Amino acid sequence: MPEHSTRRPADWYNTSPEQANWYKDPSHVVIPQPAEAGCSTHQPPPRSAGFEGHTAKRRRRTKIISLSVCALLLCAALAVALWQITVQLNSLSSQTTESAASNPVIVIPNGDDSTDDSGSSSDSGSPYDSYQEYFEAYYSTSSEITIPAAETGSGVTLTLAEAEGNELSLQDIYDKVSPAVVGITAYIEGYEYSYGTGVVFASDGYIITNTHVLEGCDAAVVKFSDGTEYDAYLVGSDDASDIAVLYIEGENFPYAEFGDSDDLRVGDQAIAIGNPLGETYSGTMTNGIISAINRNITYNGHTMTLLQTNAALNEGNSGGPLINAYGQVIGITNMKIMSTYYATVEGIGFAIPSSVVKEVADQLLEYGTVLGEPTIGIVAGSVSAEAMALYGLPEGIYVSEVNEGSDALEKGLQVGDVITAVNGEAVTSVADVNLIKEGYEVGDTITLTVYRDGETFELEIELVDKSQIE
């Protein structure tokens, strides 16, 4: 924030440098003279005619300048305040290439914004003949994880152990856990996409990380602290919990012991090990405490119940372990708050509790997905402002894919449709839809308000199990 200064300029009283430095010149030294009757050497000299008027004008001018400066400072402060009116819950993966789906760059020449009833806009200045072609380019990068799949049903599970013995020193905790902490580099078509952290939980090569570290990627490489690297295979991932399980081929890998997050209390030690800002700072350990338990945080349309910690977390820490005083992993770090609408924020990080990690990981290990999770069965994204201007589309979410096995497909929802409301509640993002959908179960029905070719209608569809979607 800019600091306010009340200091006046050096020449505000119109004094020349020679006059200002009179005391340095001996010729200007005043020799006291004897006082005459009725006169004091401290009495000011007589003022010339018009002096009072000149002083009043100068005061008014100074006041006007001061008020103008204050007004400018106030405007600047308001501008800064408006700029800060945002709340950012940042996922902690260090992305080196941005997803086109989340931050598209589309060059649209200037032109007439008129559209016809079919949604075609050949005269609108758009390089695309229809809004369907526009969105095909707009959402050209999918958020789906297409990393080669590993087999499921191996019988491996994640075990939570009781805390036993004495608390360890920070040095001993690092020595115990850090060999099992790995760097994860995710790729799209051979280009590095994001860098995160993972933790090995089974000696035969099973690794926990965050789903958002792998989102949109088709390959991933795991790197241990000794420099050895392995190609990773995807066992399964879950958006709602932000948990993913990877597998690397081999045996006798160092692995971390997991503890039970249900035993935690506010004030317990919390230690994080990870790769903040990428490989350069790999293996960084930070420490703090458990600041709060059972924080409900909404991110990407899903509400998660998380542990809060003041252990320093940064981009690249995603998927890494949060560790207790016994050297047991009691959480998987996944996000932090960076700022609110009125201030920057320090020391508010979050981790997925180990009790939740076990519940999700065991299902991913057995089935490759989480059972019983209700879904509409579509791939969709927000209608951009450009699309609304160019093609006359309403606010909503554009349907780019309707999955096989979904009731939405059976009821006639199509690629190119725009969903403007769910159960009568307006939606402008997938996050809006997920928030409305929370609390519903597989088999429940919801009503979609759909825009297609200039017409709006409603579809009642049944939520299906995510595991049934093809």
321, 332 in Cβ contact below 8 A?
yes
Cα distances (Å, whole numbers) of residue 227 to 7, 179, 183, 317: 58, 11, 10, 18
Q: Is 4 a catalytic residue?
A: no
Q: Which of 194, 212, 237, 238 is catalytic?
A: 212
Q: Is 242 a catalytic residue?
A: yes
Amino acid identity of residue 12, one-letter, is W
Give dist(CA 220, CA 234) in Å, integer: 9
Residues in the chain: 470
Give dist(CA 220, CA 227) in Å, integer: 15
Q: Which of 241, 318, 400, 406 is catalytic?
A: 318
Burial of 446 (0-12, 13-18, 19+ CB in 10 A): middle
Cα distances (Å, whole numbers) of residue 198 to 243, 259, 419: 11, 17, 37
Residues paired with 285 in a beta bridge: 273
Q: Is 212 a catalytic residue?
A: yes
| Secondary structure (3-state) at 80 | helix
427, 433 in Cβ contact below 8 A?
yes
| Secondary structure (3-state) at 378 | strand
Give dist(CA 305, CA 289) in Å, integer: 18
309, 288 in Cβ contact below 8 A?
yes
Check residue 469 and report its DSSP letter. Answer: -
Q: Which of 238, 242, 417, 432 is catalytic?
A: 242
Catalytic site positions? 212, 242, 318
